[in-house]
Amino acid sequence: MVTSCFTRWYLRPAERAARGDAHALPAPRPSAAAPAVQVAIRQTADGMIIQIKGEARVECAGALLDGLFASPARRPAVVTLDLSELRSISSLAVGVLVGYRRGVVRTGGVVRLAEPLQSAVREALARAGVLELFETTTGAEAAPQQ
């Protein structure tokens, strides 16, 4: 008898709904295909350019981390982050960028942000208080697109 009272607590939401349980939670809806963050790395004569596109949401932080640390050069002298096609950035993704910067600076490198930044990204970096950690460049100083 006791187990029958607790059985409904351990059922999956869909099973609860099938049994007609009043306390059933709705089954989770499949999320729409969220645009993933894309990371492209290329070497230049001046160093390395990392272009980040899309939306750096919380669920994309792992992909961003993998993309940043998959760089071919282990100790780049100059890294330019091109965030011009990044539409939004979560606080977790900001933390990933700051952690990446910290690793580059520890090995004697410099991390720059290529201008222009989208307003939502600039605002997120400014609110987090990390915008001043990065040097900035103008679009003309960044390497041309290939």
Q: Confidence class of residue 141 from pLDDT cuts 50, 70 and 90?
A: very low
Percent of the chain with pLDDT over 70: 67
Q: What is the mean pLDDT of residues 104-126?
A: 93
Residues of the chain with CATH 3.30.750.24: 38-137
The CATH architecture that domain 38-137 belongs to is 2-Layer Sandwich (3.30)
- Residue 106 burial (10 A CB sphere; 0-12, 13-18, 19+): exposed
pLDDT surpassing 60 at residue 70: yes
Give pLDDT tens digits for 6-18.
555 555 555 555 6
pLDDT for position 45 = 86
Give pLDDT tens digits for 24-61.
555 444 455 544 789 998 888 888 999 999 999 888 88
Chain-wide mean pLDDT for the chain? Answer: 78
If phi over 0 gives left and psi between -120 and 50 gives alpha, with beta otherwise, what is residue 129?
Answer: left
